[in-house]
Structure formats: structure tokens, C-alpha cells
Copies of this chain bind each other. A is one copy, B any other.
Amino acid sequence: MSVTTVIGTESGLTVSEVAAQSGVAPSAVRFYERHGVIRAQRTAGNQRRFASDASCRIKVAKLAQRVGLTVKEIAETFDALPPQPQPEEWSRIADHIVTEAEQRVEALKRAIAAMSTGGHLCDIDEALATMP
């Protein structure tokens, strides 16, 4: 071996590896670690080493951001995960995020429906507004 990148010694994924796997920039990987979305061990030489679930966390986080969750909220959600999460625990987290997103969409739909009741949504009540 040693022709292509030698995979991180000291057991764990490097920043670049996680970045490549998750499709974000290395700077973003560091950013997510600082904000608790992912966790890292350190090597003797102070380099980060991530467990293999790191890139998955980032992928989920990116999608969660797309539906309005903040990095902080996502980090807090992931906080419920133990160091060695079981697939089933992961599913619970995923469900939680999806549910939160769906609730926000429902809130949006309900609000729009509420505004629509009576046949008007955001229409200009010209007649009413200009009444004496």
C-alpha cells in the first residue's frame, strides 16, 4: 500500500476523510465538531480522529438544516446518543428529526388554513377597509 492515502493511523477517521465521506469542506467538519454535532478523539499528536458515524451525522445534519433545524438543535438532538450508538438508537434520533420537521410543516399548513377560513387568505378587503 502507501500509494493512495494511507487511512489514518491511531484508529479513526481524519478530518479530510470525514469531509470526503459527508460531502462538506474540512472547515465545516471542524465547525461541526466545535458545535457538538460530531465528536472526536485526539491522537498523541493532537489530531482529530472520528468514529465512523461522523459522516452520517453530518449528512443528517445538513438535511435537517434544510428543513429549518439549527446546528444547535441538531447537536442537542445528537447529544442523546451514547458513544457507541446502536442502529435502533440512531433510528430514534432520525425519527425525532423527521417528526420535528413534519410538525413545522403542519404548523405552516394549519396557519395557512386558518388564514384562509372565510374564503379569504391574504386578499385585500378593499370593501371593508374603505367602509366609513
Partner-B contacts on A (CB < 8 A): 11, 51-53, 56-57, 59-60, 63-68, 84-87, 90-91, 94, 97-98, 101-102, 104-105, 107-109, 111-112, 115-116, 119-126, 129-130
The residue that A67 contacts in the complex, of B59, B67, B116, with Cβ under 8 A, is: B67
Given A84-B124, A115-B59, A125-B52, A98 contacting B90 (CB threshold 8 A)? no
Given A105-B102, A122-B85, A111 contacting B52 (CB threshold 8 A)? no
Q: Is the CB of A108 within 8 A of B63?
A: yes
In Å, the complex CA distance between A63 and B68 comes to: 10
In Å, the complex CA distance between A65 and B97 comes to: 17
What B residues does A108 contact at CB under 8 A? 60, 63-64, 66-67, 97-98, 101
What B residues does A63 contact at CB under 8 A? 104, 107-108, 111-112
What B residues does A116 contact at CB under 8 A? 87, 91, 94
Q: Is the CB of B121 within 8 A of A87?
A: yes
Taking CB as reference atom, which chain B residue is nearest A56? B122
Taking CB as reference atom, which chain B residue is nearest A109? B98
Q: Is the CB of A67 within 8 A of B115?
A: no
